[in-house]
Amino acid sequence: MQDTSNLTLNKIQQAAIDEFLEKGFRGASLRQIVKHAGVTTGAFYGYFSSKEALFASIVEPHAQALMAHFMQAQLQFADLPKDEQPSHMGIESSACVDWMVDYICDHREPFKLLLLKAEGTSYENFVHNIVEVEVEYTLKYIDVLRELGHKVPRLDRTLCHIIASGMFGGIFEVVIHDIPKNQAMRDVGQLRAFYTAGWLALMEEK
């Protein structure tokens, strides 16, 4: 019985992925999802309470996994003794970004939904939320540098947001454009080197 239940669930979710990818959340038809899954509307509501609940069932595990790993990397860096943070700049973030690229390449469809098709859901600000976390921890690191005596030039929050948006936009391009994993890892590694060099230049004493 459990096997049949799982099979039905998988059919509904795959039909939903196809419909959401084609039409986005707003344009997706629950009637078409049910039809292509080969189930009744009543059967559908035995699994999900709404179209958004169905969308969430597909993307939430991956959104949560990515954000949790990203937050862990941020916290690990912030928890380092302040005088050790400058020498670690880029180490934790490099490992985190490599993990992120590997993960999103292995789960392309849910991330395409998150990045391109989530308008009208609670996930439409997914990238913005990641960027905001990056900005907060960047500003904390700048404060640490100043506490350590580094004369860091003024870096406005708006600039930090623009830079972080560009970086994460670049990372997620690998999914949007279906870049093969090996090339994606190489491209993003070079992108990260570009941004790291840029940050170091901005933070140099003048």
> Domain-by-domain residue ranges, the chain?
1-49, 57-203
Q: Tell me the one-letter amino acid at 163.
A: I
Judge whether 20 and 55 are in contact, CB under 8 Å: yes
Q: Which residue carries 């190489």 as its tokens? A: 186
Cβ partners under 8 Å of residue 139, min gap 6: 157, 160
Residue of 43, 115, 114 whose CA lies nearest to 30? 43
Q: Alpha-carbon dihedral of residues 180, 181, 182, 188, nearest 10 degrees?
A: 100
pLDDT in tens, 51-95: 999 999 999 999 999 999 999 999 999 999 999 998 887 777 888
- CATH of 1-49, picked from 1.10.357.10, 1.10.3720.10, 1.10.10.60, 1.20.1250.20, is 1.10.10.60
- Residue for token pair 């990203």: 70
- How many other CB atoms are found less than 10 A from the CB of residue 119? 11
Alpha carbons 25 and 119: distance in angstroms, whole number: 7
Calpha distance 168→141 (Å, rounded): 19
pTM comes to: 0.90
Compute CA 29 distance to the chain's CA centroid, rounded to the nearest angstrom.
26
**Residue 20: burial class (beta carbons within 10 Å; 0-12, 13-18, 19+):** buried
Mean pLDDT of 161-188: 96
How do residues 114-166 score in pLDDT, each as one tens digit? 999 999 999 999 999 999 999 999 999 999 999 999 888 989 999 999 999 99
Closest CA to 191 of 110, 69, 100, 67: 100
Torsion of CA 148, 162, 99, 103, to 10 degrees: 160
- Calpha distance 91→69 (Å, rounded): 15
Mean pLDDT over residues 106-111, rounded?
A: 97
CATH code, residues 57-203: 1.10.357
* C-beta neighbour count of 109 within 10 angstroms: 16
Q: Are the C-beta atoms of residues 25 and 121 closer than 8 Å to each other?
A: yes
Q: Which residues contact 11 (CB under 8 A, 6 or more apart)?
A: 37, 38, 39
